[in-house]
Structure 1
Amino acid sequence: MGSETKVYTLAQVSEHNHSKDCWLIIGGKVYDVTKFLEDHPGGDEVLLSATGKDATDDFEDVGHSTSARAMMDEFYVGEVDASTIPSKTKYTPPKQPHYNQDKTSEFVIKLLQFLVPLIILGVAVGIRFYTKSSA
């Protein structure tokens, strides 16, 4: 008789989240990496920060070697029940406020309220200066 594969929930795997007892989920499989923490080339903090979640993306993003992947077999303890892992939420950017045409006209009005008196003042000073110099 072959040995049956143990199946763990995310909650069960999440309990193993410290340096004396560290389990990771990678590719739907559960690994007890406790003995490997001090030998991990990236340091133990990297592994400890990947506990309590599906660490597949973290593992793949680093680009582990073939020998690193082969080494994983000795840490294998079972499978994770995929239904207990929350589905990945796709990033949706925050909604941008709609461009409001009215704000543009408000801005133009304020600008004109400021510029028109300046233009009138400029013209008045110009006329005054022009009439004084020609007299």
Structure 2
Amino acid sequence: MASDLKVHSFEEVAKHNKTKDCWLIISGQVYNVTSFMDDHPGGDEVLLAATGKDATNDFEDVGHSDSAREMMEKYLIGEIDGSTVPQKRAYIPPQKAPYNPDKTSEFVIRILQFLVPLLILGLAFAVRHYTKKE
């Protein structure tokens, strides 16, 4: 049967990402699991979350039983064309801007330029209020 399997592109498989039309890629094989959606013990959300990508790790991480692996055979519809699968990208954390003391100093100076006149004005009002002759 392996020689009769159709080769599917990643783009084609990724289009089948709905409850009524769901295909998965697991270990280089393409599975049409549409008819299994209601019966999947983890619910259809689990299967839908595995669409549009290589779901091999998702499948293996769960630790499926031998009987589950045997059951997969009836959903097998083809193989994935590996050259069409996007390369996995490594996570690159965002770079923090290096500490710039000059920028911090500029910020402090602007705050002080705003606050100092207010403090002086407040002090002037307080002095005037407490030194008024009655």
Please, what TM-score do these two structures have when normalized by structure 1?
0.68
- TM-aligned CA distance change 1:3 to 1:94, over 3 Å: closer
Q: Which has the larger radius of gyration?
A: 1
Deviations 1:66-107 (A, max 9, x none): 222222111111100111111000001111222335568x4x
Structure 1, unaligned stretches of length 5 or more? Answer: 114-135
Q: Secondary structure of the equivalent of 2:4?
A: coil
Secondary structure in structure 1 of the residue aligned to 2:54: coil
SS at match of 1:30: strand
Give the aligned partner of residue 17 of structure 1. 17
Deviation by residue 1:5-62 (Cα, 9 ceiling, x = unmatched): 2100011112222222211111111001111111100001211222222111222222
Instruction: Tell me the distance in 2 between the aligned counterparts of 1:62 and 1:6.
Output: 27
What is the count of residue pairs matched by the alignment? Answer: 109
TM-score, scaled to structure 2: 0.68
CA distance in 2 between partners of 1:92 and 1:3 (Å): 40
Partner of 1:117: none
- Determine the structure 2 residue equivalent to 1:61: 61
How far, CA to CA, are the matches of 1:3 and 1:28 in structure 2? 14
Structure 2 unaligned runs (5+)?
113-134
Q: What is the deviation of 1:3?
A: 4.7
Distance 2:28 2:81 in 1: 8
Partner of 2:44: 44
* C-alpha RMSD over aligned residues: 2.5
Alignment of 1:77-96 (within 5 A): 77-96=77-96
Aligned to 2:74: 74
Distance 1:41 1:21 in 2: 18
Counterpart residue number, 2:129: none
Cross-structure match for 1:132: none
Correspondence 1:100 to 2:100: yes
Which 4+ runs in 1 deviate beyond 6 A?
none
